[in-house]
Structure 1
Amino acid sequence: MSFKEKVKELSTFEPQKIEHDIYAYWEKEGFFRPEKQRELGLVKPASQRFCITLPPPNITGQLHLGHALTIAIEDFMTRYERLQQRETLFVPGSDHAGIATQNVVERELNKQNIKRKEIGRDKFIEKVWEWKKKYHARITEQSKRLGMSCDWTRERFTLDENLSRAVRTAFVTLYKRGLIYRGKYMVNWCPGRCESAISDLESIPEEEQSSLWYIKYPIAGKTFKQPAGEWGSGSWAKGATEFIEVATTRPETLLGDSGVATHGKHPKYGKLVGKKAIL
């Protein structure tokens, strides 16, 4: 039965019965592809082109209402430009999501009493690709159900070889031009399950009630070279004339301290750079 015949049979408008066929027709005829738009004479000569990329949803799971909102807004923009007889391209894609996907796959395996380290790296990666296949298909299905008028022949995944190569090439080029460099910075580190650095975007801060301790480290000098008494005796730092004060919520780490960092141009402590603090 043709699409027109289906519509005629409906006594009332029932979108769930015809939207699938409408979208299939659009896709089959290639209306979302800029080449087809030109071929069909739907583009004004010398008109501006319009291209937009879908912020690729993570394959950590299926789409939610927030994704639907973003898709609706971008699809509205694309359809508006198409109605202005401009050549339009809406590029779809999905994001591998790195550690976030690793976490959801691990949680799923844990339900089956399977541990990542027990099955090994290669087998775990297989499981991740299986997850990707399942949820990528689900995301595509949902996107089409929402009517997203994108060119599926140009769909991309962030781990596609050509995209990975482009990222590597870009970083190498930026490095050679001196625009990026490797430095030493404080990072969020996951010491347990991940054993990896975690970006700020992947970290969820939680506030808790605690105490802030101020500790004075005595600086070695002419009148103070080593502790004058037992720790806690009151005379331990006797003779010291200079101190650097550090605030911390973790005083128990004091015994593991091996250095103190300060800005070289700090108005109060910059002069202490290169000197020795005594623990």
Structure 2
Amino acid sequence: MSDTKLPKTYDPQTVEAPWYDRWESSGAFSSDPDSAETPYTIMMPPPNVTGSLHMGHALTFTLQDLLIRFNRMRGRDTLWQPGQDHAGIATQMVVERQLADQGIDRRDMGRDAFLERMWEWKEESGGTIQRQMRRLGASPDWARNRFTLDDGLSRAVVKTFVQMHRDGLIYRDKRLVNWDPKLLTAISDLEVEQREQESSMWHLKYRLEGSEDEYISIATTRPETMLGDGAVAVHPDDERYKHLVGRMAILPLSNRPIPIIADEYPDPEKGSGAVKITPAHDFNDFEVGRRHNLPLINLMTAHAAMESIPEIPAKYQSLDRYEARKQILADMDAEGLLENEERVQNSVPHGDRSGVVIEPWLMDQWYVNAAELAKPAIKAVEEGRTRFVPERWSKT
């Protein structure tokens, strides 16, 4: 006769794994699309295959599992759809670090070989995630597990993209993006870290056209972008510069005339009150440039080196942006056009994964018409077909 006494201590290793195997093999977690029962579905937010699960995953998966098990016990046909997310740049960074430890650069491997290494990591990390979820006792429909780069899902993405483009919900436009010159990709605002630091602000003199001894002083923390200036802007209420609006200034080093314009953007209390407008390398300047129809001069390559274009004197072409900064400041000083340098506190954007300074860069990108896309969802809330819990969130 077997011993029916409960052991003094609970041993999860001997109890949980056999029971979990029994549940899964019996089909207890499976949904039945042909069932007549009322369905109840949770789409699992797929964890990234960048590593293993953390406490946050444990919390959210436990809450989802509670809801699924509760509704399963109520007799509803439940589907907890499991999956893992390829996570794009984040996973790429993990694999690149692994390759770097072996002295390998992904650019030397070629695309196909690198993708093969990415899939190898997916199998390793994705397997770890599934094992962790089983140890948590989570009860998704494992037979339906998906990965966001599976062929079927990739085809669905392409089909949806094409349809949205035909419907005018996706369009292409040339705008500034957050460009990461290390990862060589555009990144979202959420992937940019604004780091407070002490920087230099240089006061530079731009000569007024038609005069040999009249200048307008501008203040900038990025003198390397001056070669792409489209204008000098002053505030329309700034009495110091009203008489100069409409005149032309001569851009130093390249001797290109640019207009002095009035715009609400400059702050009369900051620096000299006059600012250089470089529409292709600053998000605020880009908007000013649009308002005044200024030229867009892309000064830099994808690696943040100075381009070889007519607007850039030959001596600065191909220089790294910071090397170009040093050379430009030295040449401005030699010509007596560097007034002074001051130290200021400012925010400098960095890539949260690469750690390098982000470059606002002009390029063609795809955009989603979010305002149009949101209309059916907003209407569903207004008509009561979609409910927010708590209800106050429907106001936002």
The TM-score bracket by the shorter chain reads 0.7 to 0.9
- Equivalent of 2:194, from 186, 202, 205? 205
Name the SS of the counterpart of 1:129 in structure 2: helix
* Number of the residue aligned with 1:17: 14
Query: What is the CA deviation profile of residues 165-201 of structure 1, one whole-angstrom value per residue up to 9, with x for unaligned ones?
Result: 1111111111101122112222111112x11112223
Give the structure with the higher percent helix.
1
Paired with 1:35 and 1:59, the residues of 2 have a C-alpha distance of 28
Query: What is the CA deviation profile of residues 115-136 of structure 1, one whole-angstrom value per residue up to 9, with x for unaligned ones?
Result: 2122222222211111111111
* Number of the residue aligned with 1:241: none
Counterpart check, 1:26 vs 2:45: no
User: Do the aligned partners of residues 11 and 267 (structure 1) sit closer, same or farther apart at CA in structure 2, a change above 3 Å counting?
Assistant: closer
User: Do the aligned partners of residues 275 and 95 (structure 1) sit closer, same or farther apart at CA in structure 2, a change above 3 Å counting?
Assistant: closer
* Number of the residue aligned with 1:257: 228
Query: What is the CA deviation profile of residues 69-118 of structure 1, one whole-angstrom value per residue up to 9, with x for unaligned ones?
Result: 11111111111111222111101000111111111101011111222122
Output aligned runs, 1:32-51, within 5 Å: 32-35=29-32, 48-51=38-41
Paired with 1:246 and 1:70, the residues of 2 have a C-alpha distance of 52
User: Do the aligned partners of residues 36 and 21 (structure 1) sit closer, same or farther apart at CA in structure 2, a change above 3 Å counting?
Assistant: farther
Paired with 1:271 and 1:201, the residues of 2 have a C-alpha distance of 25
Paired with 2:46 and 2:90, the residues of 1 have a C-alpha distance of 14
- Asked if the contact 1:214/1:246 (under 8 Å) is kept, the reply is yes
Cα distance, 1:246 vs. partner? Answer: 7.8
Name the SS of the counterpart of 2:41 in structure 1: strand
Give the structure with the higher percent strand.
2
TM-score normalised to the size of structure 2? 0.55
Paired with 2:5 and 2:108, the residues of 1 have a C-alpha distance of 58
CA RMSD of aligned residues (A): 3.3
User: Do the aligned partners of residues 257 and 36 (structure 1) sit closer, same or farther apart at CA in structure 2, a change above 3 Å counting?
Assistant: closer
Cα distance, 1:211 vs. partner? Answer: 5.3
Q: List alignment gaps of at least 5 residues for structure 1.
A: 39-44, 219-223, 238-244
Paired with 2:197 and 2:291, the residues of 1 have a C-alpha distance of 33
Paired with 2:34 and 2:135, the residues of 1 have a C-alpha distance of 22
Counterpart check, 1:77 vs 2:67: yes
Cα distance, 1:273 vs. partner? Answer: 2.0
* Number of the residue aligned with 2:300: none
Residue identity over aligned pairs, in percent, reads 44
Letter in 1 for 2:215: W
Q: List alignment gaps of at least 5 residues for structure 2.
A: 234-262, 266-287, 296-310, 312-396
User: Do the aligned partners of residues 101 and 146 (structure 1) sit closer, same or farther apart at CA in structure 2, a change above 3 Å counting?
Assistant: same
- Asked if the contact 1:94/1:158 (under 8 Å) is kept, the reply is yes
User: Do the aligned partners of residues 213 and 77 (structure 1) sit closer, same or farther apart at CA in structure 2, a change above 3 Å counting?
Assistant: farther
